[in-house]
Amino acid sequence: MIDLQDIKQRFGIIGNAPGLNRAIEVAVQVAPTDLSVLITGESGVGKEVFPQIIHQFSVRKHGRYIAVNCGAIPEGTIDSELFGHVKGSFTGALSDRKGYFEVADGGTIFLDEVGELPLATQVRLLRVLEAGEFMKVGSSEVLKTNVRVVAATNMNIPKSIGDGKFREDLYYRLNTVPVIVPPLRERRDDIILLFRKFAHDFAERYRMPALRLDDDAKEVLVSFPWPGNVRQLKNITEQISVIEQDRKIDGATLRGYLPHFHENALPAIYNKSGEKTFSSEREILYQVLFDMKRDMTDLKKLVHDLMEHNGQNTSQVQHENARIIRKLHGEKEYGPEAAQQPNFPVHPYANVPASPKVNIHNDDIIEDTEEFVEESLSLEEKEKELIQKALNKYNGKRKNAAKELGISERTLYRKIKEYNI
């Protein structure tokens, strides 16, 4: 029968959250075996305690226990630190050196931040886990080791596998038994207990009365998300213990020590579904030209309809013409019922009355003709024309013209020089 309270007191664990209790139970149950264990959890939750529990409740408790922070060792020396090297294997290798796997033979190695290991080192580690064999850097001699490996990480290993940064076979070999440590925000009932423990410890260290919280401060403490988990709570408790003279802390004082992440958050960029984006200035110019051509087509249709229905213009044709003109001027579209209102905002030409009927002799009938003028499709000419219009609009102010065109000032200067504008 596992006595959780005794284990918590022995290893300094504070809290009674179900997730925390479950993690302790799994660590104790797997300890007598030689299975590899992967401890996962966010930074600051206290993952480093669980390898010690596993080591102390195993048959290896009298052997060496070595904790290695893989993220703190440079990539060029990590192999030498873990597996050792022989004299002359690289510059500065003046003598043979034993690695952690050789020193901890018969004991336990805790690999913290194992997700930071280089891929080449991961291959070496996989061989140790599968066969208990390794080679020193610069040597071809195969050495044996009997080491229990406990690893921990705050990384999303499955995502790292998808990104090609972590070996899938090593993940499954390490993750024989997973131990999941819950974040502090999932242990709300433990926050006040942890604060009291830290406040008492710092009071003894700095020889001062312990901090006390009023009801408002307790509510603030419990409702805060604690992204830094237990480590962040401990640091803030130490700050308040040292700085504040009044030992009873209210909510307003406590809020001054808690970072307000929502105030520093930057606005997210939102793109509507299907919204067009551009990857270059050339695409922007193409889009402008296509929009202009579409507007010209609509205008031609309007003129054609006016000429075709001359003398017999109907309300439907008038409404359609008004819609086209509003579109050309970028005005808002309204429903048909709004068009019947007397103050409906349309372009003046939209309400042109039907032309009066006139008597025309048959021999004087003039047939409508449509003249097609071949437009220039030269991108350079259109680009030059747009730049010239923008400069004229802002009286030669290049900064404003560049903003109007949606390009940088540097690009505008280059275009002006290129086109000799």
Residues contacting 184, CB < 8 A, separation 6+: 44, 45, 190, 191, 194, 226, 229, 230, 232, 233
Q: So what's the pLDDT on residue 394?
A: 84
Structure confidence by residue, pLDDT tens digits, 104-149? 999 999 999 999 999 999 999 999 999 999 999 999 999 999 999 9
Same domain, residue pair 221 and 336: no
Taking alpha carbons only, the member of 372, 331, 369 closest to residue 349 is 331
Task: Locate 46 and state its tokens.
Answer: 């206290």
- Comparing 25-29, 226-230, 234-238, 393-397, the range with the smallest average pLDDT is 393-397
Structure tokens at 168: 């899938």
**Pair 144, 237 in one domain:** no
The residue range of the domain holding 241 is 186-261
**Total Cβ atoms within 10 A of residue 351:** 11
Based on the domain organization, do 163 and 16 belong to the same domain?
yes
Let me know whether 148 and 21 are in one domain.
Answer: yes
Is residue 28 domain-shared with residue 125, that is, in the same domain?
yes
- Residue with the bigger pLDDT between 405 and 320: it is 405
Last residue of a domain, one of 162, 182, 202: 182
pLDDT exceeds 80 at position 348: no
Whole-number pLDDT of residue 1: 67
| Residue 391 belongs to a domain | yes
> Domain check: are 205 and 250 in the same one?
yes
pLDDT digits 0-9 by tens, 359-395: 444 444 444 444 444 555 567 777 888 888 888 888 8
pLDDT in tens, 255-289: 999 986 444 444 444 444 444 444 455 667 667 77
pLDDT tens-digit series, residues 57-81: 999 999 999 999 999 999 889 999 9
d(Cα 372, Cα 391) in Å, to the nearest integer? 30
Indicate the residue among 123, 151, 182 that finishes a domain: 182
The CA distances from residue 61 to 38, 53, 64, in Å, are: 19, 10, 8
Residues 57 and 78 in one domain: yes
Is residue 316 situated within a structural domain?
yes
Q: Length of the chain in residues, anyone? A: 421
Residue 137 lies in a domain: yes
Does the global pTM surpass 0.75? no
- Read off the CATH number of the domain in which 231 is found: 1.10.8.60
Q: Which is more confidently placed, 185 or 319?
A: 185
336 shares its domain with 392? no
Do 171 and 198 fall within a single domain? no
Q: Considering the domain boundaries, does residue 305 fall inside one?
A: yes
Examine the domain organization and report whether 151 and 235 are in the same domain.
Answer: no
CATH number at residue 50: 3.40.50.300
Domain boundary among 261, 282, 311: 261
- pLDDT, mean over the chain: 82
Percent over 90 (pLDDT), the chain: 59
Tell me the Cα Rg of the chain.
38
Query: How many separate domains does the chain show?
Result: 4
Same domain, 58 and 160: yes
Banded model confidence at residue 345, pLDDT cuts 50, 70, 90: very low
Mean pLDDT of 85-97: 91
Q: Are residues 242 and 119 in the same domain?
A: no
Q: Would the pLDDT of 168 be above 50?
A: yes
pLDDT score, position 272? 45
| pLDDT for 264 | 43
Higher pLDDT, 266 or 47: 47
Of 341 and 158, more confident: 158
Q: What are the Cα distances from residue 249, in Å, to 22, 199, 200, 255, 273?
A: 33, 12, 14, 10, 49
pLDDT band at 416 (very low <50, low <70, confident <90, very high): confident
